[in-house]
Amino acid sequence: MARSDGAARAARAAPAALRPDRQADGRAGPGSRGGRLRSAGLAASRGVVLAFLSLAGSLTLFIITVVSLALLLTGVGFLTTPWVLHAVRTHADQRRVLAGDWAGTRLLAPYRPLPRTRGGVTGHIECCLLMLKDPATWRDLIWLIVDATVGFALALLPPALITYGVEGWVVLCGLWRAVAGDYWYGFVHVENVGDAVQCALLGTLLLLLALNAGQHLVKAHFQVARAFLSPTREALLAQRVERLYETRHDAVGTSAAELRRIERDLHDGAQARLVAMGMSLGTIEALVEHDPAKAKQLIAQARESSAEALTELRDLVRGIHPPVLAERGLGDAAKALALRMRVPVEVDIDLPGRFDEPVETAAYFATSEILTNAAKHAEADRIWLDIGHTYDAGGMLRITVTDDGKGGADLTKGSGIAGIERRLGQFDGVLALTSPPGGPTMVTMEIPGLPVSW
C-alpha cells in the first residue's frame, strides 16, 4: 500500500535515525562502499558481543543448570532450579530481542504460562515441576550448549576475519622482518618479502570476505538460535487455541457490555423523553378545551422532546452501526469520520471493494478510537489516515494512522489500546505501535480478509 503524501511528510518529520532509507549523518545507505564498510564494522562489533554472550553466558548457564538438575536427587535442586531456569529464560529472551533488532528475525517466546503458586518451599517445588514439564525448558537447555559452540563460532567469525585480514597487511608492512622463519600466517610460512606479499593478498581476501559476509554470519547465528528458541508447531497450535479462547471470552464480555450500554442509553435518554412526551400529551388532552394557550405551549415542548429523542436514537444507532458504513462501506465511513475530527485529517483510501460486515465494523471502530486518541492525547496538528488492502498472507486489510504529535505512546499503558487489540484479536488482527518521544506516532492495524464485493 502506498503511503499518502501526508504520511510521507510525517515520516520526514521523524528523527533521521528512525528512517531506514538514509543514514542519520546524511551519508549514503548500506549499498554504497562506505555503507558496506560500516555494515562490516557493525557486524564485527555485534559478533564480539554475541561471542561473549555465547561463551560466558550460555556456557555458564548450561553448567549451572546441569548442576542444579543433578541436585534434584538431593532435594536442594527443587529450590535452586526455578531461579536457574528463570535466568536461562531471561538470557534466551535477550537473544530473541537481539534477533529482532540486529537481524530482523522475530522469535516468539514458546513458554507455557506459569500460574500463581503458593509461596515458600511448596511454591518453589510446584514452580520447579511446572517448568520442568514445559518442553521449551529442555529446548533452551539444548540451545545453551549449541550456542556455546556453533553460535560462538558464527559470532566470532566477523571480527576474526577483520582482525586476521589486517594482520596480513601488518606482516607486509614490516612485521615479517622480525618474525622471518618462525611465523606462519595461515598456510604461508613467512621467510621473506615474497611471503609477506602473499600474507597481504590472503589478508585482502579475508577482508573482502568480512566486508561481504559479516552481516550474513550474524544472521546465521540467529538462525541457529531460531531452531531452538522459536515455538514448535505444536506450541504454536496450543498458543493459537489459547488465543482463540481469550478472544472468544473477550467477544462475549464486549457484547454483554455493549448491550448494557445500549440499555442504559435507552433508559436514561430516549425512553425517558418519550415517557415525558406521553405525559405531556395527556396533559394537553385535558387542557386543550379549557386552556388552549397552555396546551399550545405544551405541544411545542412535546415537539422539542420528540426531536431530541429522535436525535438520541440516531446517535445510538450510529454508535451501534453507522448508517454510512452499512450503506457505502468502510472507505466512505472513514472519510465521514475524518470530517468530524477537530484535528485536520488527510485521508488516503485504496480499497478494492467491500469486506465482511463484522470486519468493516471492527476496522471502523478501531480507526475511530485511534483517531480520537491522536486528537485528544497526542497534541497533534495533523493526522494522516491510510487504508488499503494487500494480498500478502492471503489478503490483509491494513490501516495506518500517523500523527505529528508529541509521541511517547505505550501499548502497555492504558486500556484503550488494549481494547482495540482485543477487538482486532477476534479476527486474528494485529496492532503495531511506533511512538518515539517527540513523535511522530504511527499505529498500524492489520486484519486478515478478502473483499466480498468489488
- Concatenating the DSSP letter of every residue in 88-116 gives HHHHHHHHHHHHHHHH-------PPPPPP
For residue 453, give the C-alpha cell.
Answer: 464485493
Do 427 and 375 form a contact (C-beta atoms < 8 A)?
Answer: no
Do 58 and 64 form a contact (C-beta atoms < 8 A)?
Answer: no
Q: Which residues contact 276 (CB under 8 A, 6 or more apart)?
A: 305
Return the CATH number at 427: 3.30.565.10
Q: Are 170 and 202 in the same domain?
A: yes
- Whether 441 is in a domain gets the answer yes
Q: Are 109 and 207 in the same domain?
A: yes
Do 383 and 392 form a contact (C-beta atoms < 8 A)?
Answer: no
Q: Are 59 and 196 in the same domain?
A: yes
CA–CA separation, 168 and 161 (whole Å)? 11
Domain that holds residue 264: 234-320
The number of distinct structural domains making up the chain is 3
Does 158 sit behind a cis peptide bond, omega within 30 degrees of 0 on the bond before it?
Answer: no
Q: Are 279 and 206 in the same domain?
A: no
Q: What is the pLDDT of residue 62?
A: 95
- Whether 158 is in a domain gets the answer yes
Q: What is the pLDDT of residue 70?
A: 93
Choose one of 213, 231, 249: the last residue of a domain: 231
Q: Are 265 and 204 in the same domain?
A: no
Concatenating the DSSP letter of every residue in 300-349 gives HHHHHHHHHHHHHHHHHHHHHS-HHHHHH-HHHHHHHHHHT-SS-EEEEE
CA–CA separation, 388 and 348 (whole Å)? 8
Q: What is the pLDDT of residue 24?
A: 38
Q: Are 362 and 390 in the same domain?
A: yes
Q: Are 112 and 220 in the same domain?
A: yes
- Whether 9 is in a domain gets the answer no
- Whether 199 is in a domain gets the answer yes
Choose one of 231, 247, 282: the last residue of a domain: 231
Q: Are 328 and 309 in the same domain?
A: no
- Whether 250 is in a domain gets the answer yes
Choose one of 274, 295, 320: the last residue of a domain: 320
- Whether 2 is in a domain gets the answer no
pLDDT in tens, 319-378: 556 777 778 888 888 888 888 888 899 999 888 888 888 888 888 888 888 888 888 877
Give, in order, the Cα–Cα distances in Å from 79 to each of 120, 141, 275: 10, 18, 68
Q: Are 40 and 78 in the same domain?
A: yes
Q: Are 352 and 332 in the same domain?
A: yes
Q: Are 288 and 148 in the same domain?
A: no
For residue 134, give the C-alpha cell.
Answer: 514445559
CA–CA separation, 57 and 148 (whole Å)? 8
Q: Are 224 and 114 in the same domain?
A: yes
Nearest Cα neighbor of 308 from 271, 259, 281 is: 271
From first to last of its 454 residues, what are the pLDDT tens digits of the chain? 333 343 343 343 333 333 333 443 444 444 566 677 888 888 889 999 999 999 999 999 999 999 999 999 988 888 899 999 999 999 999 999 999 889 888 888 888 877 776 667 777 788 888 899 988 999 999 999 999 999 999 999 999 888 888 888 888 787 766 766 677 877 887 778 887 888 889 888 988 888 888 889 999 999 999 999 988 777 667 766 766 666 665 655 556 665 666 666 666 666 777 777 777 777 777 777 777 787 778 788 777 777 777 776 666 565 556 777 778 888 888 888 888 888 899 999 888 888 888 888 888 888 888 888 888 877 788 899 999 988 766 788 999 999 888 887 776 665 567 777 777 877 778 888 888 888 788 889 888 877 776 5
- Whether 201 is in a domain gets the answer yes
Q: Which residues contact 453 (CB under 8 A, 6 or more apart)?
A: 353, 354
The Cβ-side half-sphere exposure at 225, using a 13 Å CA radius, reads 34
- Whether 349 is in a domain gets the answer yes
Do 65 and 88 form a contact (C-beta atoms < 8 A)?
Answer: yes
